[in-house]
Structure 1
């Protein structure tokens, strides 16, 4: 089966892309969604098929949905508090993801809400941890807006300018490898964190 991510993005349209960004940002079940590669590919499609996606409409909607999603996550953490740590694991929820984000938050503090945007899984649970920790809402929103802005604009425009720089006949050759590289790079912080945790547990 040929995996055609650009075609998937074309099929999703604005609202499909925005819905996935919202779910990954704010819903516990959204941690597995491919936000980075989706935004990158959507930016690429916006250049190659401007009649389907306008880059600025795409980015603005993604930014709004990312910020709103984080607000839902914050409200979830604020409402349920540390009871979430007592929730039983299921195929959609694993306490280890919450604990990993808690550790990330303890290390980076408020900056977590900005840095986590670029770390899969952590970005889903970071606003929840902020809510559990009762971070002041104005402080939360400030970092939420900065993180959402950098993430949605940065990743989407990266895909857009790639589309601008690649000759049309080379798109299929380079697009998927580049998307794969983005996924690998985005996983590096998580891998480093796991290695550090394992080393720490041995001492």
Structure 2
């Protein structure tokens, strides 16, 4: 496949082009480097599970294409853990300078604020685990944890738990559905990916609604009295 034609926002295109190695590298980048927040983590893991099922060749339109399920179940959590540890390390050593960059087309200061809000609201350990299931937040929370002084050993324990639940859970879901729907999965693939992305965005929407309700009502501007 022509690498230049790969759509980095399309998990199916990424897996077809780069296979297992690409999946593991992308998982590491998305959780370890700030510029990786836009990568399709949830749909990538789901389709990786499908790629390890009996429906792999059907979905990726490549006869004989198949991913190793054991390699995914071992490699994905390891790479997700390592990526997050790198993010935490950068946050602890580089500090706030990581986040002093101005807003751009990809980077927004609100991403950092959102990650810090989760850290404050849920506490260190719970925030690290829950962030795994939240796009964007799972990228920025790790360096934020380092900036806020979360100890590396404590972060590692919660990081391993969150990385394992996130990667293994979604991969196994894709694998199970791929085997169950073999022969007709093309009809269900897009709706399932949309559902997974929608579910991952639910906590973000809930948080936004809570923040909006908690915000004090805006006061109307006082108008000078008429003479």
TM norm. shorter chain > 0.5: yes
Aligned to 2:180: 165
CA contact (8 A) 2:14 2:22 kept: no
In the alignment, structure 1 residue 119 sits paired with structure 2 residue 134: yes
Question: 1:8, CA displacement in angstroms?
Answer: 4.1
Question: 1:156, CA displacement in angstroms?
Answer: 0.4
Query: Counterpart of 1:167 in 2: which secondary structure?
Result: coil
Whole-angstrom CA distance in 2 between matches of 1:121 and 1:36:
11
Whole-angstrom CA distance in 2 between matches of 1:121 and 1:7:
21
Aligned to 2:77: 63
CA contact (8 A) 1:28 1:92 kept: no
- Superposition pairs for residues 148-163 of structure 1, below 5 Å? 148-163=163-178
CA contact (8 A) 2:11 2:40 kept: no
Whole-angstrom CA distance in 2 between matches of 1:165 and 1:7:
23
Question: 1:150, CA displacement in angstroms?
Answer: 0.6
Match of 2:47 among 41, 51, 74: 41
Aligned to 1:198: 212
Match of 2:158 among 143, 146, 152: 143
Aligned to 2:16: 10
TM-score, normalised by the number of residues in structure 1: 0.92
Whole-angstrom CA distance in 2 between matches of 1:129 and 1:101:
7
Task: Quote the RMSD (CA, aligned, Å).
Answer: 1.8
CA contact (8 A) 1:10 1:45 kept: no
TM-score, normalised by the number of residues in structure 2: 0.83
Whole-angstrom CA distance in 2 between matches of 1:136 and 1:5:
34
CA contact (8 A) 1:6 1:45 kept: no
Query: Counterpart of 2:185 in 1: which secondary structure?
Result: helix
Question: 1:5, CA displacement in angstroms?
Answer: 5.0
Question: 1:51, CA displacement in angstroms?
Answer: 5.5
Query: Counterpart of 1:93 in 2: which secondary structure?
Result: coil
Match of 1:52 among 66, 89, 95: 66
Q: Return 5+ residue gaps in structure 1 as ranges.
A: none
- What per-residue deviation string (whole Å, max 9, x for no partner) do you get for residues 44-94 of structure 1? 111134863111101211111101110111011112223334332223321
